[in-house]
Chains A and B, each alone.
Chain A
């Protein structure tokens, strides 16, 4: 993702949300971290987005709930 390094400490919501997503993928620079934190300190929407990204990622990593294999699938596998 093209995130140009910006000298200004102030990011807009788009830049910040890209950084939030990118933080889950790779290490971001210290400067980017500071810019992100600065923006988050005054933006509810981006703070919500960050919570969402982290929480949703954690939740889906739990093992899937138990499921019964439907009989139709079981039969097809057995008859193969």
Chain B
């Protein structure tokens, strides 16, 4: 059974995990956990959705478990320190204004932008990566993300704000200044 899943859906499941986790070991673990969980619960799978959707649903939760474990390891009250200081430090606005003229490489393809953004997401501090991924890639509600990461709404909003500021800065460093 799991061999067929691996053959039929392995690539799609891998692509999903890869877009959300940054190392191969973690990806291997969540994929293995997914297949194990799927085998255990296959008798309850009633075919309301396609097999792939069902497997992706299990995989999603396995990935959230990884985020949950990471968040427990990090004591990350440190994330909530004065945002204003960081804001000043980064000097984002000076950068943005100097570069008002469009860059030489105009980003035409969304795909290219997608890869650039994903690359930058991977470079954020772990908590920002995980929070941003759940928010924007997985569309989780604020409440769910706060539960998984054991943080307050206020804390989450600060983390997401920082993630966005950092992402823009990272893209800027890649020479991408205008996203229209």
Contact = CB atoms under 8 A, between A and B. Distances in A.
B161 A22 contact: yes
Interface residues of A, number: 39
A29 interface: no
Chain B interface: which size bin?
35 or more
B142 A25 contact: yes
Contact of B164 (A45, A53, A80): A53
B157 A21 contact: yes
A56 B16 CA distance: 18
A52 B179 contact: yes
A64 to B, nearest CB: 4
A21 B84 contact: no
A61 B18 CA distance: 14
A56 B179 contact: yes
B93 A13 contact: yes
Contacts of B117: 56, 59-60
Contact of B142 (A26, A70, A72, A77): A26
Interface in B1-48: 2-3, 6, 10-16, 18-19, 24, 27-28, 31-32, 35
B97 interface: yes
B113 A59 contact: yes
Given A53-B164, A59-B113, A60-B117, A76 B28 contact: yes
28 contacts: A14-B84, A17-B161, A21-B160, A24-B135, A25-B157, A25-B160, A44-B96, A44-B100, A51-B179, A52-B179, A56-B113, A59-B110, A59-B114, A60-B117, A60-B121, A60-B136, A60-B137, A61-B136, A64-B16, A65-B15, A65-B114, A67-B18, A69-B10, A73-B24, A77-B28, A78-B3, A80-B32, A80-B35
Task: List 9 tightest A-B contacts by C-beta distance, closest first.
Answer: A1-B157, A64-B19, A67-B15, A69-B14, A21-B161, A45-B96, A55-B179, A69-B10, A64-B15
